[in-house]
């Protein structure tokens, strides 16, 4: 099943944007995020592709759901199309960002997440989802990492990161110039509206706050690619609200991509 509103295979050359699933959860503590790309695709069909607030029919935007990546090595992606990667646990952000860093000169990353993910190692794994932003910072420079919405870290993580990276609340972010990668961990939302996650963290953002934040980042910044990670369908409640909210976030990213492209023409 393709994501709702996707171009069909025969029309893929027309695509302006591309969605790619990354069904990978080897670096998660509780497995299950590998099933998220298909769960989010299925959930997308439960929403109208007509976006009421924008009076925008998403299928007019010309995007293509290219299916799932086989693995995270040997990536070969152009930058003619802005992409949205559908995780997967948060560790996928490191190889994806590294690809854009090495091949397409993307140096800055904004992450919207409940957690700092700044441990040097977690349960013996340096590539754990709990260490992903530390690895990104070591690659691109700590000054190029911007964390938004963080509400959970160890004391050690906080002491290490506080003077090295930029940390903002959702309403005071300053968006840097230059090419950006945007990573959205669904657990930044309040667990009441996104319960299907490995590490639910109380006192999270509303969906409306996350939407206005990502719209601001994409329309004011130069976002080349984005991801949405950490949906775990096996931990969700029966109506699948975490996958539905993830699908809605992808709709909003597409609308914001389109909005920024139309205003720059
Ligand atoms: Mn998180």
Query: pLDDT for 12-58, tens place per residue?
Result: 999 999 999 999 999 999 999 999 999 999 999 999 999 999 999 99
Handedness of CA 50, 41, 117, 163 (dihedral sign): negative
CB 61 within 8 A of CB 254: yes
Could you tell me the distance, in angstroms and rounded to a whole number, from the CA of residue 33 to the centre of ligand 1? 13
The helix or strand, by DSSP H or E, that contains position 145, with its residue range, turns out to be: strand 145-148
Which pLDDT belongs to residue 80? 82
CATH number for the domain spanning 71: value is 3.40.800.10
Sheet holding 63-68, edge to edge: 63-68, 17-22, 82-87, 222-229, 179-185, 108-112, 145-148, 166-168
Which pLDDT belongs to residue 78? 80
Task: Tell me how far apart the alpha carbons of residues 21 and 40 are, in angstroms, rounded to a whole number.
Answer: 10
Could you tell me the distance, in angstroms and rounded to a whole number, from the CA of residue 4 to the centre of ligand 1? 26
Could you tell me the distance, in angstroms and rounded to a whole number, from the CA of residue 187 to the centre of ligand 1? 5
Could you tell me the distance, in angstroms and rounded to a whole number, from the CA of residue 153 to the centre of ligand 1? 10
Could you tell me the distance, in angstroms and rounded to a whole number, from the CA of residue 124 to the centre of ligand 1? 19
pLDDT category of residue 258 using cuts at 50, 70 and 90: very high
CB 165 within 8 A of CB 137: yes
Task: Tell me how far apart the alpha carbons of residues 46 and 26 are, in angstroms, rounded to a whole number.
Answer: 29
Could you tell me the distance, in angstroms and rounded to a whole number, from the CA of residue 8 to the centre of ligand 1? 33
150: left (phi over 0), alpha (psi -120 to 50) or beta: beta
Q: Is residue 4 part of a domain?
A: no
Could you tell me the distance, in angstroms and rounded to a whole number, from the CA of residue 264 to the centre of ligand 1? 33
Q: Is residue 1 part of a domain?
A: no
265 Cβ neighbours under 8 A, 6+ residues apart: none
Give the residue-averaged pLDDT of 95-115.
97
120-132, pLDDT tens digit by residue? 999 999 999 999 9
Q: Is residue 181 part of a domain?
A: yes
Which pLDDT belongs to residue 71? 85
113 Cβ neighbours under 8 A, 6+ residues apart: 90, 133, 147, 148, 149, 150, 183, 184, 185, 187, 188
Q: Is residue 164 part of a domain?
A: yes
Could you tell me the distance, in angstroms and rounded to a whole number, from the CA of residue 39 to the centre of ligand 1? 19
Could you tell me the distance, in angstroms and rounded to a whole number, from the CA of residue 188 to the centre of ligand 1? 7
Which pLDDT belongs to residue 73? 81
Domain ranges, residue 131: 9-264
User: Where are the alpha helices (H) located in the chain, listed in sequence order?
Assistant: 36-44, 93-104, 132-140, 155-161, 207-220, 241-264
Q: Is residue 210 part of a domain?
A: yes
166-198, pLDDT tens digit by residue? 999 988 999 999 999 999 999 999 999 999 999
Tell if the pTM clears 0.75, that is, is over it: yes
Give the residue-averaged pLDDT of 226-250.
98
Which pLDDT belongs to residue 31? 97
Mean pLDDT of the chain: 96
Task: Tell me how far apart the alpha carbons of residues 186 and 224 are, in angstroms, rounded to a whole number.
Answer: 20
Task: Tell me how far apart the alpha carbons of residues 41 and 56 are, in angstroms, rounded to a whole number.
Answer: 20
Q: Is residue 248 part of a domain?
A: yes
Q: Is residue 136 part of a domain?
A: yes
Q: Is residue 2 part of a domain?
A: no
Which pLDDT belongs to residue 265? 59
Task: Tell me how far apart the alpha carbons of residues 229 and 104 are, in angstroms, rounded to a whole number.
Answer: 22
How many domains in the chain? 1
């Amino acid at each position: 099943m393709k994501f709702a509103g996707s171009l069909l295979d025969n029309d893929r050359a027309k695509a302006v944007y591309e969605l790619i699933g990354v069904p990978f959860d080897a670096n998660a503590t509780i497995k299950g995020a590998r099933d998220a790309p298909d769960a989010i695709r299925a959930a997308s069909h439960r929403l109208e592709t007509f976006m009421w607030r924008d009076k925008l029919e998403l299928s007019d935007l010309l995007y293509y759901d290219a299916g799932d990546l086989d693995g995270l090595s040997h990536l070969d992606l152009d930058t003619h199309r802005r992409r949205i990667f559908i995780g997967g646990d948060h560790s996928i952000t490191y190889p994806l960002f590294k690809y854009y860093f090495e091949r397409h000169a993307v140096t800055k990353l904004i992450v919207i997440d409940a957690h700092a993910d700044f441990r040097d190692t977690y349960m013996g794994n340096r590539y754990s989802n709990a260490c992903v932003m530390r690895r990104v910072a070591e690659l691109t420079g700590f000054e190029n990492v911007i964390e938004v919405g963080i509400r959970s870290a160890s004391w050690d993580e906080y002491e290490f990161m506080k003077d090295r990276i930029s940390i903002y609340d959702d309403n005071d972010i300053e968006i840097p110039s230059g090419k950006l990668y945007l990573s959205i961990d669904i657990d930044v939302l309040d667990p009441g509206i996104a319960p299907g996650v490995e590490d639910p963290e109380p006192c999270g953002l509303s969906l409306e706050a996350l939407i206005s934040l990502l719209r601001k980042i994409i329309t004011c910044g130069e976002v080349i690619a984005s991801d949405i990670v950490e949906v775990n369908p096996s931990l969700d409640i029966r109506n699948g609200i975490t996958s539905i909210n993830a699908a809605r976030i992808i709709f909003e990213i597409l609308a914001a991509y389109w909005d920024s492209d139309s205003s720059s023409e």
